[in-house]
A = this chain, B = another copy of it.
């Protein structure tokens, strides 16, 4: 399972076999079953999570009990509650497996130790944060400027794999479009 992470990280920076051994020694490998949680609201997010198999979703609960999907993370994706992980404060979101999933985990302390020993990992993570910021800005722009139809089309184009693996109501939740609107858009699209 760690080999999948190894392949990913060596494709994204200049890492030695020794670096990989050190990263492995400070990691935890975990299998979680569908519907199991890696994080629940109110807990401190202890891990930065790399998905080697399966699919996770992060979602927040509104006071009326509705679920709002912040993020899907499938193979070769990182996920965490950035703020809770960074500051070790209670999380406002939940991370749940939508399929049987395998992950590699690092604590904040382990990562800090790795950054000191492996500068390439620190700069990889800085690039990851930059990318996360760019993706967030793009999503905000789509949120405020796209029609519901455009949001739906964009999701299918951007995440074809996730689209096949999650129920439509979760796509609706991610896009901030009502389930009814999305069903109607899908029906119109299937007829045309």
Binding site for B on A (CB under 8 A): 60, 62, 66, 68-70, 82-83, 86, 129-130, 132-134, 136-137, 139-141, 143-145, 173-176
Contact = CB atoms under 8 A, between A and B. Distances in A.
A47 B184 CA distance: 45
Contacts of A145: 60, 62, 66, 68, 176
Chain A interface SS verdict (over half): helix
A82 B129 contact: no
B174 A133 contact: no
B143 A140 contact: yes
Please give the count of copies of this chain that the complex contains: 2
A133 B174 CA distance: 18
B129 A136 contact: no
Contact of A141 (B68, B132, B133): B68
A110 to B, nearest CB: 19
B140 A140 contact: yes
Given A144-B175, A145-B60, A133 B129 contact: yes
A132 B137 CA distance: 10
Ranked nearest first, the 10 interchain pairs of A and B with the lowest CB-CB distance are: A144-B176, A136-B136, A143-B143, A68-B145, A83-B134, A62-B145, A68-B144, A133-B133, A143-B176, A139-B140
